[in-house]
Structure 1
């Protein structure tokens, strides 16, 4: 049982800064027996500070989704207003994903060197400013340049945010909290669908006003920089122990205020032993999980972005008006929320790997159903099925990522997986026009169903990390 507030704080501070202890047998024994800062964080209940961190990171996540979601509506509108062919609109989408691939790789490396919070705020600022500038574009070339810069920020923010939340979450609910973070994606995509339906589709200049709204992250970056804590594990890895101790103590104080000074039990699950990580994420100890993780990321990105970037445009090409196709997409997008809720509920009792596998399998079935749909009710029903399972799978994938790697390569590992996944998202918009010309909608969604099936197979090779402490 952890000690009450006051004496516990003094005891913890004494033994977790071991460089200040006298080198006596008694001192060494005390240091060995006392909980580490990681164990102290794992032992806490979910406090107001956890919720503030989750909501603060989640809002940034939602703004990311809003920006990416807006692209699907904007390219559908520009195809009508600027008379663009499918190849050109594909490149408008893909160039942003090229930026995301580069951003994900660089941000992971930077986050392991300068901190999670710093990179999170910087990426929000980059893509917020670039999104607002996109509204001023007067040509396809200029729009593509701005979308590339937007992608740099977007790709950098996502893996950093999930790493930050994962490192603060109590062990017993860590997976659930990361899935809840990912659920903010649905809120952002729903906002994008609403903007597309009620602003973008209403006038020739509607797409510009939609992008102006997408500049909100530039303002929110200031809030992130001032309001979110830095990762304790990162601070410890850099020798900044006083800062790490102050942050842990603040979370313990929040728990004490909520529980009247009581504490929970120290976790009894298996501790993560320090891993032999020579060679980094491609070393012998981590190679298999990295390969499987990259495969899932690639396949899910290919199928998700290929489907949801193109659904509004495909509906327009089938004869539906912009307003009606965007309305259908808004309804389909709403199914993301219960998908996330189901994944968040199941990921702790089922575990990460099983939850990911089931939702990927459901996504494959949803893709087949959408490819065969013809009537309006079939489009909406199959689209909702695909949306439900696909976004639940995303939640499980983001929960798994930070748990696969030790602290010193955690952001690098999650960022590298996202980077490889972005290759799938770059390819996805580009392959739709030729596959559509060859075999129609059935062939397009058949490709996406096959990608989900391959992701299912790769998911089985990932280790189950439920209940394990982060290294």
Structure 2
């Protein structure tokens, strides 16, 4: 028998009447050190993700200075990691929903570190392509697990900035890779290998930061492991926090569940946001020195530096406005503005300074507004489908980015840089218009209800 002044909750957690009057909803409390540490550990993985993709462009540019690498092989090597991301996100989306977020959150970064070092043993042929593809597989799993875990743990009022920090870290990694490559490009004929292998450094740091990370209490509750969820919430957040409420779980949902009449719209919009946000960024970023040189800039490496510096600043600006603008305005308005910015570059005769300034502004706008892409898709799906939904969205984006990255050097070489820019402009403008018409707004809704509406 409990005393009159004590009561027992459904989870078997005993609280006093005094404690019950000040119980805090799971995602309505203040930001705690636990939340900040999880953002840091998840962001370190995003930094690694951005670094390994950003280092590709400068490494390939250095390699082609000493070796004869065809346009086709440049496209294959540049897109191999993205192709791996496609399959990795698609496969791990289902696994993350079935086995939890935590089993993938830490170990994948350790494996990624070991695979990164294998690049020192490769040549710019099938050996490098296979290693980079495997690295993409691992990154795909990290994309899904880190976004799902962070979305399900962060306080509702802070979720936009927490997930947006992943975009900020990704861009810092992307920009840092270019700067490191720029400093290492004159180290010798094999400098491109060492440039690529430096991706092992941020990934091992990320693994260290993730040691001890817990499972998502929201995922545990939905899968009937209430006692484990209670223990994590009590130890990491406090005994006065309620457990998260989740939508009822259906019988082992499959990928087809993403295309039901009540979920198809969310699935389409999630894929659209991710795909349009990354296709031009990857395609231009990977081969930016070549694109800038073709447009008439004398020193393509220095000319590209403004792009990467502004790309690093953009996500910080995005974090400042992500909770002030609606998700729809920030995502799809950003696509439209970015597409319009590239239009002047399609007119011949522009000065080198103008070209550099336009690319820098493009990077600033796209990176600031694409920060919402780290938040929006996670809010569109319920807990039981979040891994699969985000996985499919990431997979579709990497398929599109891989295709555009593969064709970018081929189009530039055969049809000119104007045709390549036209592809990017078409993708951005079409995505912005379609998104404004069909996308729902999720910024003010709870995590699970946002998917079921």
- What TM-score results when the alignment is normalised by the length of structure 1? 0.84
User: Measured at CA, do residues 171 and 212 of structure 1 come closer, stay the same or move farther in structure 2, by a change above 3 Å?
Assistant: same
Alpha-carbon distance, 1:222 to partner: 4.0
Alpha-carbon distance, 1:444 to partner: 1.0
Correspondence 1:50 to 2:35: yes
1:401 to 377, 389, 400: 377
Alpha-carbon distance, 1:406 to partner: 0.6
Moved more, 154-163 or 209-218: 209-218
Matched residues, number: 433
The structure whose residues are more often helix, as a share, is 1
1:227 to 209, 212, 226: 212
Aligned to 2:145: 160
For residues 29-108 of structure 1, the aligned pairs below 5 Å read 40-108=25-93
Alpha-carbon distance, 1:438 to partner: 4.9
Aligned to 2:336: 361
Partners of 1:16 and 1:338 lie apart in 2 by 47
Alpha-carbon distance, 1:275 to partner: 9.4
Correspondence 1:298 to 2:283: no
Aligned to 2:439: 462
User: Measured at CA, do residues 178 and 369 of structure 1 come closer, stay the same or move farther in structure 2, by a change above 3 Å?
Assistant: farther
Aligned to 1:287: 264
Aligned to 2:227: 242
Partners of 1:91 and 1:201 lie apart in 2 by 24
User: Measured at CA, do residues 351 and 136 of structure 1 come closer, stay the same or move farther in structure 2, by a change above 3 Å?
Assistant: same
Alpha-carbon distance, 1:89 to partner: 0.6
Partners of 2:128 and 2:43 lie apart in 1 by 27
Can you list the C-alpha shifts for 1:355-403, whole angstroms capped at 9, x where unaligned?
A: 1122212221233244448433222211111111222232111110110
User: Measured at CA, do residues 459 and 392 of structure 1 come closer, stay the same or move farther in structure 2, by a change above 3 Å?
Assistant: farther
Partners of 1:114 and 1:161 lie apart in 2 by 14
Alpha-carbon distance, 1:352 to partner: 1.0
Partners of 2:187 and 2:297 lie apart in 1 by 15
Aligned to 1:3: none
Aligned to 1:187: 172
For residues 127-206 of structure 1, the aligned pairs below 5 Å read 127-206=112-191
Partners of 1:202 and 1:366 lie apart in 2 by 37
Partners of 2:356 and 2:175 lie apart in 1 by 15
Partners of 1:129 and 1:313 lie apart in 2 by 31
Correspondence 1:419 to 2:395: yes
- What TM-score results when the alignment is normalised by the length of structure 2? 0.87
Can you list the C-alpha shifts for 1:79-120, whole angstroms capped at 9, x where unaligned?
A: 111121222111101222111100011111111112212212
Alpha-carbon distance, 1:221 to partner: 5.5
2:288 to 311, 318, 323: 311
1:63–1:217 CA contact under 8 A, matched in 2: yes
Alpha-carbon distance, 1:242 to partner: 2.1
1:125–1:217 CA contact under 8 A, matched in 2: no
Alpha-carbon distance, 1:135 to partner: 1.9
Partners of 1:251 and 1:404 lie apart in 2 by 26
Aligned to 2:9: 15
Alpha-carbon distance, 1:171 to partner: 0.8
Correspondence 1:442 to 2:418: yes
User: Measured at CA, do residues 282 and 193 of structure 1 come closer, stay the same or move farther in structure 2, by a change above 3 Å?
Assistant: same
For residues 323-402 of structure 1, the aligned pairs below 5 Å read 324-372=299-347, 374-402=350-378
Moved more, 403-412 or 169-178: 169-178
SS in 2 for 1:42: coil
Aligned to 1:6: none
Alpha-carbon distance, 1:139 to partner: 4.5
Question: Any gaps of 5 or more consecutive residues in structure 2?
Answer: 1-5, 449-453
Partners of 1:387 and 1:375 lie apart in 2 by 19
Question: Any gaps of 5 or more consecutive residues in structure 1?
Answer: 1-9, 22-26, 257-262
User: Measured at CA, do residues 80 and 337 of structure 1 come closer, stay the same or move farther in structure 2, by a change above 3 Å?
Assistant: closer
2:105–2:146 CA contact under 8 A, matched in 1: yes
Partners of 1:464 and 1:318 lie apart in 2 by 39
Partners of 2:276 and 2:338 lie apart in 1 by 12
